[in-house]
Amino acid sequence: MVSPGDRSRLPVHPGAEDDLALYIHWPFCVSKCPYCDFNSHVRAEIDQGEWREALLADLAHEADLLPGRRLSSIFFGGGTPSLMDPATVAALIDAAAGHWTPAPDVEITLEANPSSVEAARFADLAAAGVNRVSLGLQSLDDRRLRFLGRAHDAAEGLGALDTALAAFERVSFDLIYALPDQGAAEWEAELTRALAFGTGHLSLYQLTIEPGTRFAALAAKGELAPADPDESAALYELTAGLTAAAGLPAYEISNHARPGQESRHNLAYWRYRDYAGIGPGAHGRRAGRATQRHRKPENWLAALLRNGHGLAEERDIAPADRGVEALLMGLRLAEGVDLARIARLAGRDPVDRAAIERLIHQGLLHHQDEQLRATPTGMLLLDAILAEIVRV
């Protein structure tokens, strides 16, 4: 069994500091889930050809600003990118490979809903170049799926998982837990069943009530009661124990993988590497600048026609802010952060060393050779820890 402490360092590819990750946002869904605060939209009709050309143009704009980079990963997120025409996916992958030099083992992930209609596209998406799929199962229980507003049932989801395992080199799937009235026995049985499917990666998220969602409106009216924080903490610890015992320990707060199966694209975010983001609402971090595209699909398209790109905002990130952002992201990882690198990014040491020592004595942090990481107990209190150790 591998514990988070045993994995204080995940593999880093040579030249990773200069590698580039690419995020492509497809903003459309069949319906809006009640817990979702992502930039997703429901439209009666979508012109696939128009969207293909628009995304290619937005990609070309970013590529002109980032010449000569090695491409480590592409991630199609959403929305529901499994609704994309596989020809659009293929065109974007080919264009990215033309703009940059793909790593020999470039990771190309696509998020997919587990409906039978979308699963029918998996073979074509694999042929287009997708080699990793992230499947939004969310639950293995029909009653819980109805509560979450999902369009599929458990049987359809498991059928899509079988199809994905046959089509793609790597498969991950998501589950949501800490649902109302979900006890430890129910979650343990579901997670044990999920681990038996044999995928190399799992994303396991506690239900959070996000502002602006239908669940938030229900909670405000007293019609939805979030899980008790102490019970949620117990479920988190149960999750960590079960996944570690199965050989998929947590390498990030909500993500679990066999060694070598970690999401390379998401590691680029958490390790604070450069990434380009295209499509409606996509964020990017490149060469010390933050970018954000227009969120509404129609506004993004209009900006693209007007300016040749979908950017709504582009700004320099102050060194102090870069250091803090890198710290906030990196402490989510089991490997933690290199405080010397944080100081280089910030132009100064942005952490309160006395606070760190205090939290070490409380068993919440571990510090060795400038590598700082949260302990398993500290992960449960990460927001409070960050508030204490960041020097303003």
CATH number of the domain where residue 217 is located: 3.20.20.70
* CB 270, CB 327: distance < 8 Å: no
Q: Which strands sit side by side in the sheet containing 337-338, from one edge to the other? A: 337-338, 371-374, 365-368
131 shares a domain with 233? yes
Distance of CA 237 to the CA centre of its chain: 21
Least confident of 31-45, 50-64, 219-233, 318-332: 31-45
Q: Which two tokens stand for residue 14?
A: 């040579």
Name the pTM for this structure.
Answer: 0.92
CA atoms of 20 and 68, how far apart (whole Å): 10
State residue 284's pLDDT score.
97
46 shares a domain with 170? yes
Chosen domain end from 240, 270, 300: 270
Looking at per-residue pLDDT, the higher value among 18 and 16 belongs to: 18
Looking at per-residue pLDDT, the higher value among 30 and 51 belongs to: 51
State residue 29's pLDDT score.
83
Chosen domain end from 238, 270, 302: 270
190 pLDDT higher than 50: yes
Orientation of helix 48-65 relative to helix 297-307, angle to 10°: 60
> How confident is the model over 270-279, as a mean pLDDT?
97
What domain range is 334 assigned to? 319-389
Query: In terms of Cα–Cα distance, which of 183, 239, 238, 177 is closest to 207?
Result: 177
What mean pLDDT is reported for the chain?
92
10 pLDDT higher than 80: no
CATH number for position 355? 1.10.10
Q: CB-hemisphere CA count at 13 Å for 360?
A: 12
Q: How many domains does the chain have?
A: 2
CA atoms of 208 and 176, how far apart (whole Å): 9
324 shares a domain with 251? no
CA atoms of 245 and 100, how far apart (whole Å): 40
CA dihedral 250→251→256→257, nearest 10 degrees, is: -130
251 shares a domain with 366? no
- CA distances for 89 relative to 55, 85, 130, 280, 329, angstroms: 10, 7, 8, 16, 29
> How confident is the model over 145-163, as a mean pLDDT?
93
CA atoms of 34 and 176, how far apart (whole Å): 13
86 shares a domain with 198? yes
Looking at per-residue pLDDT, the higher value among 386 and 79 belongs to: 386
Chosen domain end from 270, 298, 331: 270
356 shares a domain with 225? no
> How confident is the model over 134-148, as a mean pLDDT?
95
* CB 198, CB 227: distance < 8 Å: no
